[in-house]
Amino acid sequence: MNELELTDFDVDQRLLTLPGTSLVIFTSVGCASCRWAREALPRLDLPVARVCWIDAAENGGVVQRYQVFHLPALFVVRDGEFYGALHARLTLSELSAGLNRVLSIDAEELP
């Protein structure tokens, strides 16, 4: 699985042009669950083209636009369209089911 680091400066441009499904994850170095997610999620066989990491402490603009209030926060973008927040435990089965659920709704523009 591909992994990308996104910032306030490139998040929109990258997400609008990336083909396939991106799992966008806001994290912070001070968050124990975030550190676990950074280690565990890349090893899972998730049905996504890539995981896009955003450091919430360093990228306040995109944190505000996505209305991130807790970490880790997960969102789904496919082919430049925003499908919203993904609320699931960080297990393969729950993330896969959550992705299917989120991708079944109508897409919106990126925040």
Give the tens place of pLDDT for each residue, 76-107: 999 999 999 999 999 999 999 999 999 999 99
Phi, psi of 62 (to 5 degrees): -70, -30
Does 1 or 70 have the greater pLDDT score?
A: 70
Question: Does pLDDT of 48 surpass 90?
Answer: yes
Specify the CATH number of the domain 2-79: 3.40.30.10
Q: How many CB atoms within 10 Å of residue 11?
A: 22
| Domain ranges for the chain | 2-79
The reported pLDDT for the residue numbered 1 is 80
The reported pLDDT for the residue numbered 47 is 95
